[in-house]
Chain A
Amino acid sequence: MTFPGAVAPDRTRPVDSSGLRIAAYEWGAPDAPPLFLVHGGFDFARTFDQLAPRLAAAGWRVISWDQRGHGDSEHAPLYSLEADVRDAVAVMETVTGRAAPVVGHSKGGGLMLQLADTEPFRFSHFVNMDGLPTRRPAPDVADHDRTRMLASDLEAWLDHRRRSDAVVRKAGTLDELARRRGRMNPRLSHEWLRYLVSVGARRDPDGWRWKIDAIMRFGGFGPWRPEWSMLRMPGLVMPFLAVIGQQPEQMSWGTRPEDVIPNLPYGGRLEVLEHVGHFVHIEQPDLVAALILDFLSAS
């Protein structure tokens, strides 16, 4: 399947991350300077099929990968943010141990905030695309109600874990999966959504299924707090660009400029896209590529 402006990777290869097979992709000349793209949760590297070739055309060797359990990477017995960061480093190490630009979206941006704090030497520039979670004040809810909400979330999560050995993702036609994805991306054309299905899903005998491990589930809980990510931002030592989309959507993180501005590192930039949603690079690849290239050339 083709879509205007979308280009399949020039090269694909497996990367071994402590025994787990990670699928890596590259666009652009192999001897060009490297630039890393990191996708978000429940997404996959081929969602960069529009952004990556635009960056490659500007002279970059663009490298991305499917996170464990996502896309064509192996499904793992366990998943965690810490393991995702290690997998990222495993991919980066196959390319360079030196500083390179890193662009992360959503959860991928959060992962890279963690890595930028832990191993800043890997970053020449850091672009975070709508991956700056903030503490959202909860509506006024009595404490006992809040506890019950948490209890029901926990029960639902444990019930899912009990079924997880047998659970499979729902099959559908390519159009049905495109419409499902369209609920998260309401401004994308159906044709672009169909293309994303064709590279993010597989065709089984009974229909198309997203490749992502069925054990993964939206939501979740744990000790990690969104505002802990933001704590790391002021200390970033590399040139930094934050891009946030302001159109509310199912997957929006709801981050506002006033959440970001006080936490920008020295010299950090913020670009606010008023009419774009959470998936800024999928929705506006030309605009986002231009922002990234301008940032890289200016700093």
Chain B
Amino acid sequence: MTKIDLRHGHVTLALHGLRTEHAGPAERPVLLLHGLGDRSPGAVPGWLQPWSGAVWALDFTGHGASSSSVGGGYTCEVLMADVDAALAHLGPATVVGRGLGAYIALLIAGARPHLVRGAVLCDGPGTPGGGTGPASGAVMPTVHLTGTTPDPWALVELARDLRPTDYATGFARQATQLSGLEWPIAVCARWRVPWLDAVAGEPGVLDTTLPEALAHYSTVT
């Protein structure tokens, strides 16, 4: 396993090569995105063994071996840019996200439609976010943290990040219109929170199982 440090603004991101050699015809790597409060796995998960290409995994800012912010400021949009930093290194990839990582996979699929060759949205921690519209706020007191991950500010802020359904479907439509793929997004998650339910109902979005989604994207060029 290899670890590559990537700079994203003032943050250093850890990109883990879980399997950097590829055994089969699929040259394209998979990029794994973990859920809220989690980190990249230490080895290729069993469910990804059928994938013959390389397998990489990214620790989001404030998670795993990546550096944290100071005093928070986490948003899903900046995590999307974390993934873009990884894609700048890897080139086109199939992105598989769990929970929070599924939402981020959707965003980057819409924002970099030519680099994301399939986004697979799976169950995992942090799927709902903070709902679809404005809610009462809460101001947390000043705290001093030790710098360990996951950063508690990331846990608090990314659990409250708003995910309006039409905002989510906007990214799905961009992926559909601009990626050149017939099915740029696959929804495999069973917990259909509002944003995910809306995305699953969009044209060009596969509503399927994880093995079928991986089998499909292994054939996509």
Contact = CB atoms under 8 A, between A and B. Distances in A.
B190 interface: no
A68 B177 contact: no
B72 to A, nearest CB: 5
Given A86-B142, A215-B9, A78 B110 contact: no
Given A19-B71, A76-B69, A147 B173 contact: yes
Given A85-B137, A158-B84, A221 B77 contact: yes
A60 to B, nearest CB: 24
A232 B145 CA distance: 32
A118 B139 contact: yes
A78 B72 contact: yes
B78 interface: yes
Interface in B53-86: 61, 67-78, 80-81, 84-85
Contact of A147 (B8, B69, B177): B177
A258 interface: no
Nearest to B113: A151
Interface string A189-217: 00000000000000000000000000100
Contacts of B85: 161-162
B70 A165 contact: no
Given A18-B145, A19-B71, A147-B177, A228 B9 contact: no
A19 B164 CA distance: 32
B72 A86 contact: yes
Contacts of B145: 18-19
Interface residues of B, number: 52
A115 interface: yes
* Secondary structure class of chain A's binding surface, majority of residues: helix
B10 A115 contact: no
B71 A83 contact: yes
A197 to B, nearest CB: 25
B167 A77 contact: no
A164 B11 CA distance: 11
Nearest to A164: B9
Interface in A214-245: 215, 221-225, 228, 231-232
Nearest to B132: A223
Interface of B: 7-11, 61, 67-78, 80-81, 84-85, 88, 110-113, 133-134, 136-145, 153, 157, 160-164, 167, 170, 173-174, 177-178
By Cβ-Cβ distance, the 7 closest A-B pairs, closest first, are A78-B73, A18-B71, A118-B137, A83-B73, A78-B69, A154-B111, A77-B69
Interface of A: 16-20, 68, 74-80, 82-83, 85-87, 89-90, 93, 114-115, 117-119, 144, 147-148, 150-151, 154-155, 157-158, 161-162, 164-165, 215, 221-225, 228, 231-232
18 contacts: A16-B142, A17-B142, A18-B72, A18-B143, A76-B10, A76-B69, A77-B9, A78-B61, A78-B73, A83-B71, A89-B142, A117-B137, A147-B173, A150-B170, A157-B81, A158-B81, A164-B8, A222-B75
